[in-house]
Amino acid sequence: MGRYFALTLGLAQAVKTKPKKVTAMPTPNLGYWVFLLLILMSVAYLVQVNDSSTKGYEISRLEQSLTEFKETSKRLELDMASLQSIQRIEQNVQNLNLVPSGKVRYIGENDFALGGQ
């Protein structure tokens, strides 16, 4: 209240005012920046760990399906070999009542007839 009282009496020289400091930029708080950097690094670490674990599960699943495909391929190759065996073919010939062919005659270049010649 003393300041305002002195101004009203015209005693401006008695009033002491503090000069204002003009700063272009506030001073950085080091603790704030360290905390912000720690949070950002933690988030980046969590993203990287999550991505790695997801890829690990995907690789495991793909390896399992690859093993299943290899087993299926081996089984199909065995089935194919058994179906192509000569005993299997002879058995199918008897089951279908096929007869062996006798004398085979192949048609040569001059052994066919053309309509106009």
Residues 6+ positions from 6 with CB-CB distance below 8 Å: 12, 14, 15
- Distance from C-alpha of 86 to C-alpha of 25, rounded to nearest angstrom: 93
pLDDT at 47 over 70: yes
How many angstroms separate the CA atoms of 42 and 50, rounded? 12
Contact present, 3 and 15 (Cβ < 8 Å): yes
pTM: 0.44
For 43, half-sphere exposure in the C-beta direction (CA atoms, 13 angstrom radius) is 6
Weakest mean pLDDT among 4-8, 62-66, 108-112: 4-8
